[in-house]
Amino acid sequence: MGFGFLALPDAAGYVLEDATVPASLVAGHVPTQPRDGLVRADIIVRDGRVAAVGAPGAPRPEGLAAVPLDGSMVFPCFVDAHTHLDKGHIWPRASNPDGTFPGALAAVGADRERNWSADDVRARMTFALKAAHAYGTAAIRTHLDSIPAQIDISWPLFAEIREEWRGRIDLQASSLCGIDIAVEPGYLDRMAAVAKAAGGGLGCVTYMSPNLPGGLDAIFRTAIDAGLPLDFHVDETLDPTADSLRQIAEAAIRHRWSATGNGTIVVGHCCSLSMQADDVVQTTLDRIAEAGLAVVSLPMCNMYLQDRQAGRTPRRRGVTLLHEMKARGIAVMVASDNTRDPFYAYGDLDMLETYREATRILHFDHPVGDWPRAATATPAEACGFAGRGVIGAGLAADLVVFRGRSWTELLARPQSDRTVIRGGRAIDTTLPDYRDLDRLWS
Ligand SMILES: [Zn+2]
């Protein structure tokens, strides 16, 4: 058992005194003047909820225990908008032979056919969720490989696991298959029924297939008829001719998606945009903004897969154009993506790691501004996790307290001694032991 560096009182009410909080993550009035996106605040916690976020030393109700933070940073619990809980942690039996995208596709496909029983997927999903919970994530959207033979295994299992984890991690799922499978007769109707029954959404991988235009229309029609949200894997390549991102935005406009009430369309990766000519980029960004798409970058997975050639140093890193998007008012996010599977050999669903790597890879600094929203408030809004990703009066006291007091202290170290508060109480932050999974391949 371990509860991090901070000792919390055994009391229904207490004050986290002199916390350092990202100003962009305070819901409502920001109590002091931000410096580099940060403010000092006292956070009053009562009966599992945040009662107030006020200036340090502001008048407070009597009888509350004091917890001096001396500047320690406090985040709301993280929201991870793009993961693959069903693929996670298969690396010991299904590594990527050469670290490439085709190598990943082949290795995962073979492992799925051979090994993805309900028991196998459950063990790995549970392991991943334990880690995410211990790191301070409170909401996750996962994609589920939805090749026809896998649908009846993974989706009912997901619905069970979502119930088991209710109150610890809010879970959403989105279907995943290539656009060429999505257009097979009967597939979308079946998938929509399954996703609807499980409270999930529809998605697919889009790339330059002859089936793309017709497939997109079919997916949009199906999602609108069934009242389902959409989430796409888009142009995960450095080929500049890949422009399915623009085609998705145009389909959303053509189908009048914004009037459907089916939520925000999320598009992930969008790597080829980083390789396109400026006029092409500008047109696509115009369409994304008009369509109201939300974009999620998966920087760690991009760094691993993109521009990999044996014996040659990678030069083009594949992350999409988040700064340009954000400047236009497009919702932008970062998320974990794969964990210890052939698409990414590493990763553990620690959103602080994702944010730290995003800061380095995508330059979320100088100034930091409201970039912290990309791992918290924006994914909560885009995915529809109500009440998540911000700190404010009346919201659950679901907080992560770091020893670090500033951006440099926070991001220079992994913050392995963080304290995670859920419903006002510190939770056990012990990570699951990899040995727990050994039975799956011994
Ligand atoms: Zn993904």
How far apart (Å, rounded) are the C-alpha atoms in residues 92 and 102? Answer: 19
How far apart (Å, rounded) are the C-alpha atoms in residues 17 and 398? Answer: 16
pLDDT, position 31: 83
How far apart (Å, rounded) are the C-alpha atoms in residues 176 and 106? Answer: 16
pLDDT at 326 > cutoff 90: yes
Query: Which is nearest to 217 in space by CA: 253, 241, 269?
Result: 253
How far apart (Å, rounded) are the C-alpha atoms in residues 350 and 367? Answer: 23
Rounded to the nearest angstrom, the distance between the alpha carbon of 142 and the centre of ligand 1 is: 8
Q: What is the mean pLDDT of residues 223-247?
A: 98
pLDDT, position 205: 98
Q: Give residue 36's Cα distance to chain centre.
A: 24
Active-site pick, 17, 164, 236, 353: 236
Phi, psi of 55 (to 5 degrees): -65, 150
> Binning pLDDT at 50, 70 and 90, where does residue 1 land?
confident
Question: Is 163 among the residues known to form the active site?
Answer: no
Q: Give residue 127's Cα distance to chain centre.
A: 17
Residues above pLDDT 90, as percent of the chain = 98
Q: What is the DSSP letter of 434?
A: G
DSSP letter string, 305-339:
HTT-BTTB---------HHHHHHTT-EEEE--B--
Rounded to the nearest angstrom, the distance between the alpha carbon of 85 and the centre of ligand 1 is: 10
Q: What is the mean pLDDT of residues 30-50?
A: 95
- Copy the structure tokens of residue 416: 């392995």
Burial class from Cβ neighbours inside 10 Å (0-12, 13-18, 19+) for residue 193 reads: exposed
Instruction: Assess contact for 77 and 400: CB atoms under 8 A.
Output: yes
pLDDT digits (tens, 9 = 90+) for 295-320: 999 999 999 999 999 999 999 999 99
- Copy the structure tokens of residue 9: 């009182």
pLDDT digits (tens, 9 = 90+) for 179-212: 999 999 999 999 999 999 999 999 999 999 999 9
Reduced to 3 states (helix: H, G, I; strand: E, B; else coil), residue 292 is coil
- Copy the structure tokens of residue 58: 């502001």
pLDDT, position 94: 97
pLDDT, position 81: 98
Q: What is the mean pLDDT of residues 149-160?
A: 98
Rounded to the nearest angstrom, the distance between the alpha carbon of 83 and the centre of ligand 1 is: 6
pLDDT digits (tens, 9 = 90+) for 119-143: 999 999 999 999 999 999 999 999 9
Q: Computed from CA positions of residues 117, 123, 124, 129, in that sequence, does the dihedral angle turn out positive or negative? A: positive
> Binning pLDDT at 50, 70 and 90, where does residue 80 land?
very high
Reduced to 3 states (helix: H, G, I; strand: E, B; else coil), residue 160 is helix
Rounded to the nearest angstrom, the distance between the alpha carbon of 236 and the centre of ligand 1 is: 9
Reduced to 3 states (helix: H, G, I; strand: E, B; else coil), residue 36 is coil
pLDDT averaged over every residue in the chain: 97
What pTM did the predictor assign?
0.98
Reduced to 3 states (helix: H, G, I; strand: E, B; else coil), residue 335 is coil
Rounded to the nearest angstrom, the distance between the alpha carbon of 191 and the centre of ligand 1 is: 18
pLDDT at 442 > cutoff 90: no
